[in-house]
Amino acid sequence: MSKISLHSVNEEIFPDRTSSSAKASSVPTKASTPIKRPFTGTVNTKTEIRRFSLASDKILSGLYSQRSSFISKSQLSLLDRAKQRDESRKITLPVEERVPVRVAIRVRPFVVFRSLTGGYLRKPAICVSMDAHEVRLLNSDHSPSRMQRFPFERCYWSHDGFVRLDNGYLSADSDHERGQQYATQGIIHIQIGQEIVKCLWDGLDSTIIAYGESGSGKSYTLFGTAENKGLALRIYDDLFYQSEKRRITDKDLLWVEVTFSVFEIFDEQAIDLLAEKIKPLNFYKCPKTGYFIQELVEYSIATYKELAAIIERALVNRAVHATSTRRETKYGNLVLRLRLDQRRKMHNKELCRSSTITIIEAAGSELATLAEDPDSNDQWALAAKQFNESLLALEGCLRAWAAQSEKNEATTVSEEENQNTQITGVSKPSKARVPFEDSVLTKLLQKALGLNAYVYMIATIAPEDTSYRTTLRTLQFAEVAKVGVVTVKRNEIFFNDLQKDLKTDIEASKKKLESLQKEERSDDVKKSVEVTKALIKEYEKRMARLKEPLNERMQATELFIQSITSTFGEEGDKKRLPHLSNLSMDPMASDRILHFVFNGDVTVGNDKDNTAVLVGPGIEPIHAVLSRAPSGNIQIEPVSRTAKLLINGHTISKRTELKNNDRILFGSRHVYVYRNPKEEPRTVHFADEPDINYWSAFEEIISNNGIVFSTDNTLEAGVLNRRMLEVLPQIGEANVMAEELEKDVKYDVQLVTPEMQGRLDGQTEIFVSVFHTRYNQRFEWTLRTFEMRLLAMRKLYRRGEQGQNIDVPECADPFFENTDADVRIGTARLYLQPLMYFVRVRENLEVVNFRGEPVGFVETELVPCNDYGDEYTEEDNVFIDNPSELVGKNLSFLVKIHCCKNLPKGYTVCDLLLLRAVSRR
């Protein structure tokens, strides 16, 4: 039986909510029970005398533009008193306000994994230090002169200085030298989350962008674990906590509704993660409110427990979708939107106040470097740009706001100098283009990305020296983003006005539709008809929500929650039943997909009738069968000889009994760990030793297949080991896809020294060797080229799975290299020592390829000459006895290539490299 794991949602979200200070308590405290039913203003409480003080006005001073002067009540008549009371309740917000983008930096602990083969793994060195308002990035030599400093408003140190309590909560360690500096999840919520919750109740939109490279802690910061809830979950819990209090204390509050939706932008498509069938959705542009996603599922939420369960379901669906589309979650941009709708009493009218918090977990920032390929005209570089369009456009928007801010500041300074007048207020925004229309993500989130929202960016960085470059890029981008200034205004409208506006929009859209239907049916007209129909449907949906009782929407949510608990497994099943649990590159996607093995045979394969359905390269219709052995243990058996099945890094071809914590690889990328709670528990590890994860499982597979990781305790070795671990599974996947699609090509990893690349210095790099079996040709790709190609390979493979045509010419096929492209055959070394004596030398040099194999010979001649290129002869008598005579003089020479032998057929070009100068002959 297969189930999906729903992590426990019963834990309290605020183990450190004891005061408004930033100091976290080590003893969890129980928060008040959230309200169980939607609040509609029908709570019976005693009437309280309301007092309005000047202090309460000051709290909202940033939101109110003018205040009514204080007049003694004793001087007012009864009529004047009533009028004054009404005036005090008026909201006189400015039309809009310009506010800065808020940027915070957080550094995580080291991410290391336990070697399952007993091999040596280098412990990384730290390249980051910080205090409350500054990050310092250290180069590999830790030289103070090469230290780079980045000041920020808030810097959160979560690398060390903590201790794990008995309940699993990470608390500051008072005995550690950096214990006072350690930032818990609760501290981040107190300093950022509580401010956002206040904005929500005030009718102001807010956006949180988690930005950083893959594995830097974005998911942990937003979602955390069962014991250490993340910022997003704490904000949501705090919102319901405040709702419970406000329904009693706020007498003007008539009605409250919390609505939630979650989707992901992947490959420039919007994927609804709460829909029954996950598929791309259409989106259209509303002239007044911007783009909207048609048929996006939204749920009205009554309690935090309901919301946590729905988020868990969305994260599970995200993991399933990533698995089914053969990609890592790092390629997707996750978007969570929570809208708080209030109806308040004002001047005997009903005021609608709406606010939204948008939380974006951006794709891995390292993917943006794929678009920075120097050969921007290469079709695969362009394809990579298109694939990561949303991430690039998101960065572009923040850069544009920063550029606008700098222009505005320069304009303001110039006006002050010229006019010698004091300028107050906010300068008019410049007309620099913000690239909202460049991607699906920025189209859908225009308001959230600065048109009407507070923007908070939490940049997460990795402290390992092997991540120096990506950490530097993240800090540099964050430094640009913090200069940006965005616009925010309160979202309020009277209920009657809202209804009138919707009626007007519906009528206008229907008239436009009638007019369009009378025109000729051109492609443009058909598109306009489609958009207009979608707008009418959206307007009518919004109108229906105004009239529909809230209880009916709550019932739909309750039915959805019931379907979750009946269809998906619970935490209790994991503690008592044997099961397979998935492992993923993304820790938040691991342990989400469970396949329980406790009653009858479990079949695994890509056929929909299997108990556990796996899709992707190397998975057969019925790949393997799990059953109960006579001994009572669970056993697994591949169905055919071609079914690739590895257990603990070893290929399995016959029935094998499983043991607790065995690692299983199905096909080329589906990694699972077998758990059997009834078996003897494994030996307890040290506190700092992590559990089995995706990387430790693949390190075991790679090591057992004869590849040895470097044991040098150097930065270069650490970088090589990390990149090798990342690329080898991808190469395996590419080979399986090529085999299934009948591509005559094989891929392999190749280590290339600086000398083999024609450089005098540098580090050994990893290349991907591409061998065309049909033409017997070998090419080398850089890792960046291979990553760009792999994205296109997966896309082509998915098209084949969907039954689409995948016949493309080889010049446009991502699996092949153009046979006419320039290829580095090899390198021949020509030593220049004879020039020190002005001696003419003729040599037959061996040409060696990247693999260290001889591939031919080149006959060369080294000839001294004068500055005009004239060869010296014996009659010139230029020979010298002591090379010191050449110091401070020009040295000119010719390199002649007489012939090449045994080289591969085709046009051959020789590049002559001298130090860093390159000349082509």
| pLDDT digits 0-9 by tens, 214-265 | 889 999 999 998 899 999 999 999 999 999 999 888 888 888 999 999 999 9
Task: Please give the pLDDT value at position 569.
Answer: 53
- Pair of tokens at residue 469: 């470059």
Residue 881: pLDDT band (50, 70, 90) is confident
Query: Which string of b and e fits 899-917 if b means at least 16 CB within 10 Å?
Result: ebeeeeeeeeeeeeeeeee
Can you give the pLDDT at residue 92? 46
**pLDDT on residue 145:** 65
Helix (H) or strand (E) holding 476: helix 468-481
Decide: helix, strand or coil at residue 453.
coil
Q: How far is 524 from 827, CA to CA, in rounded Å?
A: 58
Distance CA 801, CA 96 (A): 50
Highest mean pLDDT range out of 65-69, 348-352, 704-708?
348-352
Higher per-residue pLDDT: 120 or 250: 250
765 annotated among ligand-binding-site residues: no
Please give the Cα distance from 715 to 713 (Å, whole number).
Answer: 7
Spatial separation of the C-alpha atoms in residues 747 and 335, rounded to whole Å: 36
**Of residues 919 and 777, more confidently modeled:** 777
Distance in Å from the first CA to the final CA of the chain: 67
In whole angstroms, give the CA distance from residue 515 to residue 104.
52
**Tokens 């609760």 label which residue?**
186
Let me know: does 9 contact 312? Beta carbons within 8 Å.
yes
Tokens 């989106």 belong to which residue? 283
Question: Which tokens in the block code for residue 803?
Answer: 């039954």
118 annotated among ligand-binding-site residues:
no
pLDDT value, residue 326: 63
**Window from 76-90, 134-148, 375-389 with minimum mean pLDDT:** 76-90
pLDDT interval class at 425 (50, 70, 90): very low
pTM for the predicted model, two decimal places: 0.79
365 is in an annotated binding site: no
Residue 591, CA distances (Å) to 3, 109, 228, 331, 334 in order: 11, 21, 17, 19, 19
pLDDT at 684 over 70: no
Q: What is the pLDDT of residue 518?
A: 81
Q: In the chain, what is the greatest distance between 2 CA atoms, to the nearest angstrom?
A: 122
Q: With contact defined as beta carbons under 8 Å apart, do 655 and 634 qualify?
A: no
> By mean pLDDT, which of 47-61, 616-630, 757-771, 844-858 is the weakest?
47-61
Q: Known binder of ligand: residue 803?
A: no
Q: How confident is the model at residue 811 (pLDDT cuts 50, 70, 90)?
A: confident
Q: Name the percent of the chain lying above pLDDT 70.
A: 79
Least confident of 150-164, 213-227, 337-351, 755-769: 755-769
User: pLDDT class for 907, splitting at 50, 70, 90?
Assistant: low
> Distance between CA 861 and CA 322 in Å, rounded?
58
3-state class of 536 per DSSP?
helix
Q: What is the pLDDT of residues 355-409, one digit of tens each?
A: 999 999 998 888 877 666 544 456 777 777 777 888 889 999 999 998 887 666 5
Enumerate residues 6+ apart whose C-beta is below 8 A from 510.
Answer: 536
- Tell me the per-residue pLDDT of 20-78, one tens digit each, with 9 for 90 and over: 333 333 334 333 333 344 444 444 333 332 333 333 333 334 333 333 333 333 333 44
Share in percent of the chain as helix, strand, coil (round to 5) = 35, 25, 40
Residue 827: name the closest of 905, 911, 918 by CA: 911
- Per the prediction, the chain carries an average pLDDT of 79
Residue 674 pLDDT class (50, 70, 90 cuts)? very high
Higher pLDDT: 592 or 189? It is: 189
What's residue 516's pLDDT? 85
Contacts of 91 (CB under 8 A, 6+ apart): 64, 346, 490, 492
Q: At what angle do helices 389-419 and 468-481 cross, to 10 degrees?
A: 40
Tens digit of pLDDT for each residue in 743-776?
999 999 888 877 777 676 777 888 999 988 888 8
Per-residue confidence (pLDDT) for residue 316, from 0 to 100: 87
Name the band, by pLDDT with cuts 50, 70 and 90, for residue 632.
Answer: confident
Residue 713, pLDDT score:
74
Is the model more confident about 71 or about 675? 675
Q: Average pLDDT, stretch 121-138?
A: 88
Q: Is 213 annotated as a binding residue?
A: yes
219 is in an annotated binding site: yes
Q: What are the residues whose beta carbons fall under 8 Å from the beta carbon of 595, sequence distance 6 or more?
A: 1, 2, 3, 579, 580, 602, 604, 611, 612, 672
Length of the chain: 921
618 annotated to bind ligand:
no
Compute the distance between CA of residue 753 and CA of residue 647 in angstroms, rounded to an integer.
Answer: 34
Kindly tell me if the per-residue pLDDT of 790 is higher than 70. Answer: yes
- Residue 4's identity, in one-letter code, is I
Q: State the burial class of residue 511 (Cβ atoms within 10 Å of its Cβ: 0-12, 13-18, 19+).
A: exposed
Could you tell me the domains of the chain?
2-490 (3.40.850.10), 570-703 (2.60.200.20), 715-812 (no CATH), 833-920 (no CATH)
Mean pLDDT, residues 717-738 taken together = 87
Residue 698 has pLDDT above 90, yes or no: no
Residues of the chain with pLDDT > 90, as a percent, come to 32
Q: Is 696 annotated as contributing to ligand binding?
A: no
Adjacency order of strands within the sheet including 854-865 = 841-848, 854-865, 892-901
